[in-house]
Structure 1
Amino acid sequence: MIFGIGKSLFRRLILSFMVTVLIGLGIVGIIISYLVKGYIFESTQEEMLRKAKIVNLSIQDMSINAAETEQFLLFLDQSFNSRIWVFDRDGKIISTSTRDEVTIGKSVATSIVGRVLRGENVVSRLSFEGLNEPMLSVVVPWGKEDVVYGGIVLHSPVVGINKTVMKIRETVILTSVFGIILSTAMVSFLSWSISRPLREIDRTASKISVGNYSERINIDSEDEIGDLANTINTMAEKLEKIDYERNKLDQMRNDFLANVSHELRTPLTAMQGFLEALQDGLVEKEESRKKYYDVMYKETLHMSRLVEDIFDLIKLEHNEISLDRSPVHIGSILNKVAFKFKQQADEKGLEINVRADDTLESVYADRDRLEQIVANLVKNALKFTEHGGVTLEAYSDNDKMKLVISDTGIGVSKDDQELIWERFFKVDRGRSKENKGTGLGLAIVKELVDMHQGTIKMESQLGEGTTFTLWLPLFTPKDKNTSTIKSRS
């Protein structure tokens, strides 16, 4: 492992880099060698053809005498660094600059002679044992104007070609070594820059996988790895939220079951005690038995209200309640609810006042559910009010109907105000035993108000009373074609 880099990742990267460098440099070296070698041959060939033509110009008017011509050709040989032969139309060598290398009278290949006599130049590459450099041979016609006497042959080594190719190979090898070293350094850094955030992602993902959803990956890169880290962080946030909601739902379910059990156990225990007393004949007076029956009857009413409220709340949460919305005059609803609770208010010496102008616009609501909302709020207000009374008011407020239900009761503390919308929450302070509640009324009110696209808020001061304020949508002409709207469906 290099710099803490995992072997597999590093090995794959270094092998890919090395193969790329070696193949690339090898191909470049071969191409350069081929091009340089061809260039050297072509340039040497052109130069030798030029020299051969100079030789032709020099001897085309000269009578070929072996001794004299040989001296002149030797001079040209030393000047051009090329071996020079001259042959006649029959292909026999009649003069040379190097008598020790070739004898007079020796014949040149017939194919070459034929091409030269047709006025063509002939070029060939030769290799000889013992020579480090390849030889290049050029043959040009010997003659004047259109008259060809024979041919002139120049032989010359291609100087520097092998040395140049060797230098190119050495350069390619050195470049390859440098490339491998550079590749290793680059791969090491690249692998480290990749593996470091990947290890961070792996550690965090392992913690998330065991339920630690608060873990986050701290990577600021803006590449694909950064996108992966952001995706995992987003996933962790969602999982954390889901886990929180699940725990919250589990707690709510447990609290719900505990509260239902408690609410049912209390009246059932009381009823059981009274029934046992009646069954055992412990209550002899008719007046006392009637009192026991009256208490048991009230307990059955309490359980019945509890079950009805639970069913309503479950239906609301499962979107099983629909609203049959139509224009409703709020004044008639307030007066009906006030009349419904008048006897209960009179028994406690309280007043119920309604303030709603007959000219108020209609609200767009379900009449029965709107009456249930107002009734729950009034019933709640009467339970916590011992002196004074309850006031029901309605006002137009722009495109909303403002409904205010206030009392002069015991009030709600600031801490409790945050919990009043919770199911089964009860402000037990000052609650009379005669007025038992289920703790579901305000939760149902909140759900029904939301279904009507309305809002509700509460203001309260301990010892001064509580005020609930609702805003409900007014009926508009566009609502005429709308009949039944299902809640959040």
Structure 2
Amino acid sequence: MPAPGPTGGGLPTWWRSSLRVRVITSTMALGIVLVLLLFNLLFAQIAQGLVGQAVDTASRDAAQRVRQAQEQFDAIDRRDNSSLNNTAFDVVGAVAPADQQTRAVLARSIGNDREAIISTNTSSDIGLGDVPMQLREALEAEEGTQQLMVTEVELGEGQPMPSVLIGSRVDIPRAGAYDLYLVYPMAREQETLDLVRRWFVVGGLGFLVLVGGVAWLASQMVTAPVGRAARVSQELATGRLDERLPVTGSEDELDRLALSFNTMADSLQNQIRQLETLSQLQQRFVSDVSHELRTPLTTIRMAGEVLHASRDEFSGPVARSAELLYGELGRFEELLTELLEISRYDSGAADLEMDRVDMVGVVNSAVAGVATLARHSGSTMTVHSSRPSLPVDMDQRRISRILRNLLGNAIEHGEGRPIEVAVGRDDLAVSVSVRDHGIGLDAEQLSHVFERFWRADSARTRTTGGTGLGLAISMEDAKLHGGWLQVTSRPGEGALFRLTLPQAAGSVVPEPPPPVLPPAPRPATEAPEPDRTPVRQVTTPSRTEESR
């Protein structure tokens, strides 16, 4: 049966089926991680350097502008509220001219409780609300020290701009302590960072393309020879034993791999050819010996029949010898017949003589043929059929042989217990099951049950003879019909063999039928029932017919 496809919960097929994809994808993933780490590290260092430089420049410039503002306030002659407000307005305009990016805010300090009040003066696109309260409180706490903060400030209607805010304390005559805040937008620094970011993105993409190309080239150098090895291996598996890997002569690891692979392929080819030669010789030997023994066996058989017919005229020991000779000649003839049949299968010369035959009748004939043997062993046989008649296209001789082998095997190993034979069908196939309740087989024995010349217990006393080829020939006969022969068993619970055949000639049963049910438990009683009938037939409707 074909292997099941990948399930939805597993890895994608493209990942599991391609070494090259895994190499390139893994390398690209590591490259992306490396690029991101380098980008973050370098960008942080550049940004820190730009911000530090902007802060230093702003601190020096703010100190100078605050000194100028304080000098202007100290030089005031008129100190009324109107004059103070005009002076404050002029100071703000002087420290933050309109033609420069610097902004200024002059506001009453938090702790100032003087009566003279100067209104808050600011540049055109900024207000006191843009100054963080944290900065105002820090300036109040340490009024003699310049306070600094880097934050985003919304200038006018534009986007928030990273800026350096510096707050300083100025003393206005009569008005008291006022805070002067200078805002230095870092527009140029932001443009520099944007430019660096763009170049980093371009460089990162270029680096990833380079890494991907290198990974593809490296994977190509490795996966191409591996792919060739895989293709050559598949060709060898299909029987093309002359396929080999090319050897470049570079003497690298892949070249040594190719040399080792070719050496292994040569060795396998030689061994397979030797095995084929031995197999052909073996088949030829078996066929020739079987045919050559036919003529002398026929002569011996005729002489043995004459002796057997005249055994009453001999003394006791001689008469018994004649009977033994006659019986062993029959077994020898059976062995030759089976060897010839095996040789036909090995040479591909086996064919079918198909006829439309009633399977139930064939089963009943096979059961009747072994009824005497079943009576001697103490077993009763019951035939269950879903219908009185089941016509099937078959080679009756071969199917009868299969049934005789299965029934003989059940009688031999059934230990005198009942044997059930079931005949059933569905829309496409017909099946015959033979169940015994004897010694059964373990898992190890089940794996060898259809092998040639194999017996479950070679030391066991046999009552039906047998060559060890019966089940092997039965398996070949079932396959020749396009069917299946299956078995299941448990030690001490008997065995169940099931033959499945297509109903129509030329068709096959493509998939093995569902697993055979385990044998039924051994009957509670070991002793045979008195006066029981050796063969009994029961017709029961199949499950399909019952559902109808």
State the TM bucket, normalised to the shorter chain: 0.3 to 0.5
Report the TM-score when normalising by structure 1.
Answer: 0.43
Report the TM-score when normalising by structure 2.
Answer: 0.38
**Higher CA-based Rg:** 1
